[in-house]
Amino acid sequence: MTNLRIGHGYDVHRLVEGRKLILGGVEIPWERGLLGHSDADVLTHAVMDALSGAARLGDIGRLFPDTDPAYAGISSLKLLAEVGRLLRERGYGVVNIDATLLAQAPKVGPHRQKMAENMAAALGIGPEQVNIKATTEEGLGFTGVGAGMAAHAVVLLEKTE
């Protein structure tokens, strides 16, 4: 049996006024932010779901229930670090992560490197193992009209022990 495992994650959060916009652990100055129980970092959530999926840990809703006050307003990078710990505990190492943010605005290109560095640091891996992409959906759908943002992620894990 192969020692490689692939995982996919997808997440969506609504954009509202009066919230900070946190993506990949970077606070990006913007007129609105994402709504959620934690800091609503949609990009990090998609990565966490992909990692949990690959390791057969279920999903982040199961790992970190949004009914638990312990996770209210928490930095999603802290949750990502906890997912990383669970992976190591089970003998998994991260080969690579590829994530895509779907957002009409603002431009996140200037922040992509910092996002990759944040996620890598939380997981104890190198930033060269994390790739962050962003695209608009050409004004179409809920991301296109700015009602929310979505993110996809795929990851590859390797069983190391």
**Distance between CA atoms of 52 and 117, rounded to whole angstroms?**
20
CB of 49 to Mg ion, least distance (A): 8
Contact segment (CB under 5 A) with Mg ion among 9-17, 51-59, 93-101, 106-114 equals: 9-17
Instruction: Kindly determine how many residues on this chain lie close enough to bind Mg ion according to the rule CB under 5 A.
Output: 2
CA distance 109 to 114: 10
- In one-letter notation, the amino acid at residue 7 is G
Residue whose structure tokens are 């700015």 = 146
Angle of helix 112-123 relative to helix 42-54, nearest 10 degrees?
Answer: 40
Three-state DSSP class for 54? helix
**Smallest gap from residue 74 Cβ to Mg ion (A):** 12
Of residues 11, 43, 55, 155, which one binds Mg ion by CB under 5 A? 11
Least separation in angstroms between residue 11's CB and Mg ion is 4
45 binds Mg ion (CB under 5 A): yes
Options 39-47, 65-73, 89-97, 144-152: segment touching Mg ion (CB under 5 A):
39-47
Q: Beta 4-16 vs 130-135: how paired, if at all?
A: unpaired
Please state the closest distance from residue 79 (CB atom) to Mg ion, in A. 10
User: Which lies closer to Mg ion via its Cβ, residue 15 or residue 138?
Assistant: 15
CA–CA separation, 53 vs 41, rounded Å? 18
For the beta carbon of residue 34, count every other beta carbon within 10 angstroms.
26
Using the contact rule CB under 5 A, the part of the chain among 6-14, 89-97, 104-112, 122-130 near Mg ion is: 6-14
**Footprint on this chain of Mg ion (rule: CB under 5 A):** 11, 45
